[in-house]
Amino acid sequence: MIRPAALVLTAGGALAAMALAAATRIALHQNPIPGQEAGEVPTQTSSGQIQPRYSKSAYDITPLSKERIAQLAAALDPETYRITQKAGTEPPGCGTLLDNKKEGMYVCVVCGLPLFSSEHKFDSGTGWPSFHSPFDPDHVAEVEDRSYGMVRTEIECARCTAHLGHVFDDGPRPTGRRHCLNSASLKFFEKGETLPPESRPVETETAYFAGGCFWGIEHYFQQGPGVIDAVSGYMQGHVEHPTYKDVCGDETGHAETVKVVFDPKRISYRRLLEAFFVMHDPTQLNRQGPDVGDQYRSGIYFTSDKQAEEARAFIRQQQETSRFRGRKIVTEVERAETFWPAEEYHQDYVSKSGRPCHIADPWKK
Ligand SMILES: [Zn+2]
């Protein structure tokens, strides 16, 4: 859960967001859909929906549509429009943020995405605001620019493609780079000011599902449109720091469980429950297909009373459908206890190993 403190810009705000991202293993580039190269970012799911994108610091960086960009750009003054939408440059020494020495965050003037932080700003003597690093490399896209008979690297907002300036290799340590900005492309928020919603990280929610072997369940949850991260692990047992071997021994009480961190604005808990029931058979007691033992039991471990109500109502409704006529759903619904992430070799197992996965794709229409 993103703590409210991270929503207001504080001295440690950026770092808090980074730490949070690391803690939740936001792994945008680590889980390619089969058929895609690692590092490629999927833009569509198997059902044809746009796949939302999240940065390492937990911001929604899904590219905005042309229509949405045009709408936002229509509100800009003519000079800001020329610079951000037509790759213009403001005269040196004139920008309003050149001499700004206050602590705070520089966001995209068009879409509000945080782009640069005061802690990376330096006086380059060029007449344009300069930074040695972006706030998050995922937020600033680099594009080759061959205008004016030169080869330069243009920088754009990764979410709305607003032109920001250029980046050069003559900056100070630690990066040796100089991000040369137009003040007009940026809007500054001083430390302590409340940022607007479009400039805040995603407020995530966490859900836990046990449905037999976690490899396939994790694989497909990771592909959910609005799922930020899925992690394999062990839960609801009575031993601390369990290993795979301990859990296989059938005596720790843990279930192989997948932790799903999601963006509730993009995907509902209900949709996750539906996907979970597509992926496994909730009528099998303490087993799932060939995998037998209580570590393979079916379980939903809720993190709020609202999730508990929704899960129980969903199971009641499913029990009435023809799919489950004459077969009792045995899924346990319990309050989430400590989640123990599984060993690294279990994470992203299907995509890393290339092994085929026989469970049904819950996102296919
Ligand atoms: Zn933008």
Q: What is the DSSP string of 145-166?
A: E-GGG--EEEEEETTT--EEEE
- Secondary element (H or E) of residue 68: helix 66-73
* Ligand 1 mean position, distance from CA 198 (Å): 10
Give phi and psi for 7, each to the nearest 5. Answer: -85, -25
Q: Which whole number is the average pLDDT over 188-207?
A: 96
- Residue at 308: amino acid letter: A
69-83, 238-252, 281-295: which is most confident: 69-83
Residue in 116, 121, 130, 126 with CA at minimum distance from that of residue 101: 121
* Ligand 1 mean position, distance from CA 109 (Å): 7
Q: For residue 177, is pLDDT > 70?
A: yes
CA 213 from centre of chain = 24
Give percent above pLDDT 90 in the chain: 75
Q: Which whole number is the average pLDDT over 308-335?
A: 97
- Secondary element (H or E) of residue 255: strand 255-262
Q: For residue 264, is pLDDT > 50?
A: yes
CB 182 within 8 A of CB 103: no
Tokens of 240: 């601390």
* Ligand 1 mean position, distance from CA 115 (Å): 9
Higher-pLDDT residue of 289 and 103 is 103
> Which pLDDT score is estimated for 359?
87
Q: Which whole number is the average pLDDT over 184-192?
A: 97
> Which pLDDT score is estimated for 30?
33
The 10s digit of each residue's pLDDT in 2-12 is 333 333 333 33
Q: Which whole number is the average pLDDT over 336-347?
A: 94
Q: Average pLDDT over the chain, rounded to whole?
A: 87
* Ligand 1 mean position, distance from CA 61 (Å): 9
Give phi and psi for 244, each to the nearest 5. Answer: -60, -40
- Local structure of residue 93 (DSSP, 8 states): T
Tokens 């058979």 label which residue? Answer: 281
> Which pLDDT score is estimated for 45?
54
Higher-pLDDT residue of 249 and 240 is 240
> What pLDDT band is residue 349 in, cutting at 50, 70 and 90?
confident
> What pLDDT band is residue 46 in, cutting at 50, 70 and 90?
low
> Which pLDDT score is estimated for 5?
35
Q: Which whole number is the average pLDDT over 273-296?
A: 93
The answer to which of 9-18, 151-160, 206-215, 316-325 has the lowest mean pLDDT is 9-18
* Ligand 1 mean position, distance from CA 161 (Å): 6
For domain 205-353, which architecture applies?
A: 2-Layer Sandwich (3.30)
CATH of 59-199, one of 1.10.3720.10, 3.40.50.300, 2.170.150.20, 3.40.228.10: 2.170.150.20
Higher-pLDDT residue of 132 and 49 is 132
Find all residues with CB under 8 Å of 1, minimum gap 6, and list them.
203, 204, 205, 206
Alpha carbon of 212 to those of 144, 274, 281, 336: distances in Å?
48, 16, 9, 17
* Ligand 1 mean position, distance from CA 68 (Å): 11
Give percent above pLDDT 70 in the chain: 87
Q: Which whole number is the average pLDDT over 217-239?
A: 94
Q: For residue 330, is pLDDT > 50?
A: yes
> Which pLDDT score is estimated for 9?
39
Q: Is 87 helix (H, G, I), strand (E, B) or coil?
A: coil
- Tell me, letter by letter, the H, E, C secondary structure of 189-223: EECCCECCHHHCCCCCEEEEEEECCHHHHHHHHHC
Residue in 117, 108, 104, 223 with CA at minimum distance from that of residue 159: 108
Find all residues with CB under 8 Å of 89, minimum gap 6, and list them.
83, 165, 182
Q: What is the domain partition of the chain in residue ranges?
A: 59-199, 205-353
> Which pLDDT score is estimated for 39?
35
Higher-pLDDT residue of 276 and 2 is 276
> Which pLDDT score is estimated for 128?
96
Q: For residue 208, is pLDDT > 60?
A: yes
**Over the range 181-191, which residues count as b (16 or more CB within 10 Å of their CB) and which as e?**
bbbbbbbbbee
Q: Where in the sequence numbering do the catalytic residues fall?
A: 180, 213
> What pLDDT band is residue 338 in, cutting at 50, 70 and 90?
very high
Q: How far apart are CA 188 and CA 298, in angstroms?
A: 49
